[in-house]
Structure 1
Amino acid sequence: MISRRLFLGATATALATPVIGQLAAGSASAATPQRFTLNLVNNSGSATAYAYVVGLSGNRPLFVRRDGSSYYPPSPGAPVTPLGEDPSIPLGGPGSSTTVSIPRMYGARIYVVTGQKLNFFVNPGPHIVHPSFLNPADPNINKNWTFAEFTFNEAELFANISYVDFVAAPLGLSLRSLSGRVETVPGLPAGALDGICSALQAQASREGSAWNQLIQKGPDGRNLRAMSAHYKASAFANYLGGYIDQCWSKYAGTNLVVDTQSGPGRLTGRVSGGVLRFANGEAFTKPSTADVFSCDSGPFSLAGASDVRKAIIPRLAAALNRTTLLSNPNQPHGEVASNFYRNAATNHYARIVHERLPDNRGYAFPYDDVSPGPDFSGATRSGDPGTLTVDVKRLR
């Protein structure tokens, strides 16, 4: 099974950053159809809307054209070279549907923008330079765009709604299999961004903290998107430090059991000398707030990690983001959504997003799919995909 973890690092954080070319294809073990139908429903309220489908095939970046054919950008002679053609897929007017035939591809994104088109570039390799919400020089910085993610290989179609990077205009997903099975992820409701930004501002005002710094406004002064806290990690400094200290202190005197939910099974750990040590030899120094929010730095870095460590990291990171590690020494068993984010200092971005999701499903941090059973992640999958419908909703 493919997890969104394959998509970690997939957002261009600067205009000239190649990203999709760094992702790996998922393994294949069954025979899906050669293509599925992407159905784009324009409920954005805008008569001018475009979609872009971009990903990898055989380690080559490609865009899917309106007619379902593939455009493989050649490797340019210089960085940040404009694409050789316009791969945008025009959407119809409000309420209309546009269908596109999608071939097998992986590490892919479905971008949607209203009002004007997006600008994509290509670096030598070739590597696609994706729209950036962090680089002020990016021509897309002030545009109303958002995305969903998918991988489609011989085993399955996996698609998800992600708020790991930011919240902007909401999307909803519905996947109908050829067998007739339907999986739906409603996502945030239309116009949810303003409420999220208000809640972030209120949290910042109560605490005198930096949650309001996650809000990005457009040239008109209105809310355009809300970023995940790990993009402003320096502004949060030691925000979770007290909670993390409490956890490390508790597990110096009692066992922490982490179920890897895989071959290694349940592993027992204790803190000794300030280091959380598991019986198999894996050791974790105390993470910083930035390590927790990113899920991929300090002791949570995946670089050079063993398979067992890669199974422990998500469960520790999830429990710290949800601030349940202190109260639950048997991770992730017994984890229920009603217990998440109850600590005064917690990942309030994730809390605020989840509070507005009608079914509580959507990735608000990279390991939001960690669960003893119930799905918190907002992912859908099928081994016989027929139609993936993307509902493009209003920003406000």
Structure 2
Amino acid sequence: MPNSLNISLINNASPGTIVYVYITGLAIQHSTRRVFVKGNGELYFPSNPSKILQPLEEDCAIVLGNDPKAPTVVTIPQIAGGRIWYSYDSPLIFLRNQGGPGGGAALVEPSVLNPTDPNNQVNFGFCEFTLDPAQLFANISYVDFVSGIPAGLTLKAKGGKVQHVSGMAVDGLDRVCQGLREQAKKDGWPWEKLIVMKKESDKVLRVLSPTHAGAAGVKFDGFFEPLVERAWRKYAQGFDGSHANGDKEENKEKDGKRHRLSALFQGFKDKGQSQSQQSNETETGCEMHIDTQTPMGILSGCIPKGKDELIIGGEAFSKPTTADILGCNSGPFTTGPSPKRNAIIPRLAAAFQRSCIADIMNHPSPPETFYCCEPTNHYCRIVHECNIDGKGYAFAYDDVQPDGGADQSGKVNSGDPEEFIVSIGGRGAYVGDIMP
């Protein structure tokens, strides 16, 4: 792994649009201090201020040229928790606070949730990356919001292998808004209220994730609870104790039940039957299987008779709320010291988020099982549909997939990266693992 890497920044925005870029992160080779990488490759380490909310001491904006065929190339050092920020026509404002890592400043980054943030009315977005001694890992993220600025990633390894994440086309945000408005008319939930308009304008600025619905003044309380109840009915047992060690005939019968339910689920998809029909067919007394994709292997789970907790591999999980499912980091999805529990949580949370928990018993399940029944996270569904290759982090554990399964998360990674390209603006967006 190199100590540094060149990033090519391409302006694919509409002609005449000024694109500002900022590269931030923790400098691994410099005591993990907060760092900005400037356009000439120089590193700026914000100093620890004497009081809060102080401006940067240097201008760190990288202004891209207008010719997509003439990228701006910037050399980055090894960085953890890196972000490549971009904005249209207005520079971003970063501020310094006291007590940052490595003796430097803490960084106040642009926020879409704070109405008093100086960047609140600026059209901006970011992609995420880490360049460490093991690899380059980068992804486009929609976990918090959908920006009005599409971005795509391309990574070429030294052996010649190319990975490409397309992102959205120029009209991607408009398509997301259309999908949310249509869904709100169908189910009555406030999906369209997640659309943030620019003040005193009819222009859409961004779309918030339902995780942050409160910032839009709306609630999704109670949304996922019917799915949770279906799952609890499905895995509730009519006898005491875990049945993972039951006799062979019992296990054989349950294996048959799993196969029948999988076939039933596929039949619903093939015939286009409604979710209400699907719900009426939900079986009970079933056994869940979580592939931890670790040496711990596959863990079985159920709700023992007389209990109200889902027991998976000896770990107990209470019923999650809608807030737990949307955020993936509270209630039963709170991580802790148990490696087993921490391996289960992403796969279990993803199964709830994708609404396949009550129809599929083996997890992680393949993409064709995602977002197929109600209630489901239509923000995630629509975001994936509006990325031209279907990829992008739409929730915290969107990288969960079966071994050998198709990636959903919009990531590129390599232990021997040679060329990394970030295309900003959406013009010329394409599908396929080829260079631009």
Residues in 1 aligned to 2:341 and 2:113: alpha-carbon distance in whole angstroms: 31
Q: Which of the residues 30, 37, 50 maps onto 2:6? A: 37
In the alignment, which residue of structure 1 is the partner of 2:309? 275
Contact 2:384 2:391 in 1 (8 A): yes
What number of residue pairs does the alignment pair up?
A: 360
Q: Does 1:243 align with 2:216?
A: no
In the alignment, which residue of structure 2 is the partner of 1:161? 140
Alpha-carbon offset, residue 394 of structure 1: 4.9
Residues in 2 aligned to 1:351 and 1:206: alpha-carbon distance in whole angstroms: 15
Q: Does 1:132 align with 2:164?
A: no
Q: Which of the residues 323, 339, 342 maps onto 2:372? A: 342
Compare 133-142 and 232-241 and name the one that shifted more: 232-241
Secondary structure in 2 aligned to 1:328?
A: coil
Q: Does 1:193 align with 2:173?
A: yes
Which deviations, in whole Å up to 9, do the C-alpha atoms of 1:7-45 show, x marking residues without a partner?
xxxxxxxxxxxxxxxxxxxxxxxxx11111111110112
Q: Which of the residues 207, 210, 228 maps onto 2:209? A: 228
Secondary structure in 2 aligned to 1:113?
A: strand
Contact 2:324 2:333 in 1 (8 A): yes
Residue type of the alignment partner of 2:222 = N
Higher helix share: 2
Residues in 1 aligned to 2:387 and 2:293: alpha-carbon distance in whole angstroms: 26
Matches within 5 A, 1:291-310: 291-302=324-335, 304-310=336-342
RMSD of aligned alpha carbons: 1.4
Which deviations, in whole Å up to 9, do the C-alpha atoms of 1:115-164 show, x marking residues without a partner?
11000011101211110001111110111111110000111100111111
Distance change in 2, residues 1:82/1:387 (3 Å): same
Alpha-carbon offset, residue 94 of structure 1: 4.7
Contact 2:167 2:426 in 1 (8 A): no
Residues in 2 aligned to 1:75 and 1:324: alpha-carbon distance in whole angstroms: 48
Contact 1:47 1:94 in 2 (8 A): no
Matches within 5 A, 1:311-330: 311-330=343-362
Alpha-carbon offset, residue 316 of structure 1: 0.7
Residue type of the alignment partner of 2:197 = K
Matches within 5 A, 1:73-88: 73-88=46-61
In the alignment, which residue of structure 1 is the partner of 2:37? 64
Contact 1:39 1:99 in 2 (8 A): yes
Which deviations, in whole Å up to 9, do the C-alpha atoms of 1:313-344 show, x marking residues without a partner?
10011111111111111111xx2222211112
Residue type of the alignment partner of 2:212 = Y
Secondary structure in 2 aligned to 1:235?
A: coil
Secondary structure in 1 aligned to 2:219?
A: helix
Alpha-carbon offset, residue 179 of structure 1: 2.7
Alpha-carbon offset, residue 359 of structure 1: 2.1
Distance change in 2, residues 1:349/1:305 (3 Å): farther
Residue type of the alignment partner of 1:99 = V
Residues in 1 aligned to 2:334 and 2:108: alpha-carbon distance in whole angstroms: 24
Residue type of the alignment partner of 1:318 = A
Alpha-carbon offset, residue 274 of structure 1: 1.3
Q: Which of the residues 370, 378, 383 maps onto 2:400? A: 370
Compare 93-102 and 208-217 and name the one that shifted more: 93-102
Q: Does 1:93 align with 2:66?
A: yes
Compare CA radii of gyration and give the structure with the larger one: 2
Secondary structure in 1 aligned to 2:206?
A: strand
In the alignment, which residue of structure 2 is the partner of 1:5? none
> Structure 2-normalised TM-score?
0.80
Which 5+ residue runs of structure 1 have no aligned equivalent?
A: 1-31
Contact 1:44 1:94 in 2 (8 A): no
In the alignment, which residue of structure 2 is the partner of 1:51? 21
Matches within 5 A, 1:200-215: 200-215=180-195
Residues in 2 aligned to 1:309 and 1:101: alpha-carbon distance in whole angstroms: 39
In the alignment, which residue of structure 1 is the partner of 2:255? none
In the alignment, which residue of structure 2 is the partner of 1:14? none
Residue type of the alignment partner of 2:75 = S
Secondary structure in 1 aligned to 2:125?
A: strand
Residues in 2 aligned to 1:94 and 1:209: alpha-carbon distance in whole angstroms: 43
Q: Which of the residues 372, 384, 389 maps onto 2:416? A: 384
Which deviations, in whole Å up to 9, do the C-alpha atoms of 1:235-265 show, x marking residues without a partner?
0000011011000111012211111000211
Secondary structure in 2 aligned to 1:232?
A: helix
Q: Does 1:152 align with 2:151?
A: no
Alpha-carbon offset, residue 85 of structure 1: 1.0
